[in-house]
Amino acid sequence: MNAYPAPNDLCSECGTEIEPHFGDVRCPACFDKHLYSVDAGFLESYRRFGSRSRLIVAESCLRSLVVESPDHRKVLAMTIFEQYVQAMNDLVGLFAAFRLRHEAPILKTFLEFKLDPQSSVDFYETVRNMSDPQLCALLDLPLPGMVQLTCPHLSKEDAYSVSVAIHHLMQDLRKATDQGEDGALALAQMAGQIGGSIIASDAKWLEDAARQGLTPDQVALLVLDTRRRNLYVQGLTADEGAMGRVVDAVDTATRAASNLIFAYLQTQDL
């Protein structure tokens, strides 16, 4: 007698034939339907906690920067910069998920998103080339002055809060992309490097050409390029003022993500 259960080849919800499996498994259509049903809950949870996590870590590192040893300052500086790259990855991914919300669940697009040069440049160019009314239409949001009229389910106080959120969202999207295409490509490059690099206190053990321009106050980011068979060193300053500006950029990205979610959920009455 076979003690193992027989594989099933039917969707556990609609009965459509799918690949053989064990347990309850949804077909692609039912899975997307399920994800659409939890989009609102995910967005509210991410707004209240997930989107703030990058800023919490960055601010904590910045506060510790002034009292730590030089080597520890470099580790903290790198951590702050990582939070900036991750916060921008989240914002760009969320922006893409809202653009594709009618084609796929927001949760699915957001979790599958990975920042690369194409997606980064597309985000920067879209924000910089569109007017506020065009951006609001793209994100399915009313203009700040039209919230009360287009969202009668909102109280006067709530409508005002949403109007303020949309106003600040437009400002923060502009601020986050004010470096143009160069900033977009640099962001994508750093996103790729951080995932496949290590840091060092210095690069004195390398030949002069590799560590050229690296100053004692910088942390060395080591990137191995196997295609070109080269080891690159990129310096990142641990200066408190510079890191303070990076934390401000993290704040801009996380605030934009939070306001986008808040305005969408409120205007859609979700």
In this prediction, residue 212 carries a pLDDT of 59
In this prediction, residue 197 carries a pLDDT of 63
End-to-end CA distance of the chain: 52
In this prediction, residue 196 carries a pLDDT of 58
Q: Which candidate, 167, 131, 152, places its Cα nearest to that of 262? A: 167
Calculate ∠ Cα 226-198-203, nearest 5°: 90
In this prediction, residue 219 carries a pLDDT of 82
Whose structure tokens read 């080597």? 71
Separation between Cα atoms, residue 144 and residue 259, nearest integer Å: 12
What kind and span of H or E run contains 225?
strand 218-225
- Collapse the DSSP code of 227 into the 3-class scheme (helix H, G, I; strand E, B; otherwise coil) and give the result: coil
- Collapse the DSSP code of 8 into the 3-class scheme (helix H, G, I; strand E, B; otherwise coil) and give the result: strand
In this prediction, residue 1 carries a pLDDT of 43
In this prediction, residue 130 carries a pLDDT of 96
Instruction: Tell me the pTM.
Output: 0.85
In this prediction, residue 257 carries a pLDDT of 97
In this prediction, residue 225 carries a pLDDT of 67
Q: Which candidate, 225, 227, 248, 223, places its Cα nearest to that of 236? A: 223
Sheet holding 218-225, edge to edge: 197-200, 218-225, 230-237
What is the residue-level pLDDT of the chain in tens, covering all 270 positions?
Answer: 444 455 677 887 787 877 777 667 888 889 899 999 999 999 999 999 988 999 999 999 999 988 888 888 888 998 998 999 999 999 999 999 999 999 999 999 999 999 988 999 999 999 999 999 999 999 999 999 999 999 999 999 999 999 999 999 999 999 999 987 788 877 887 777 666 567 777 777 776 645 556 777 788 777 776 777 777 777 788 889 989 999 999 999 999 999 999 999 999 988
Separation between Cα atoms, residue 184 and residue 176, nearest integer Å: 10
> Other C-beta atoms within 10 Å of 179: how many?
13
Paired strand residues for 219: 236
> Other C-beta atoms within 10 Å of 110: how many?
21
Q: Phi/psi at 101 (nearest 5 deg)?
A: -60, -25
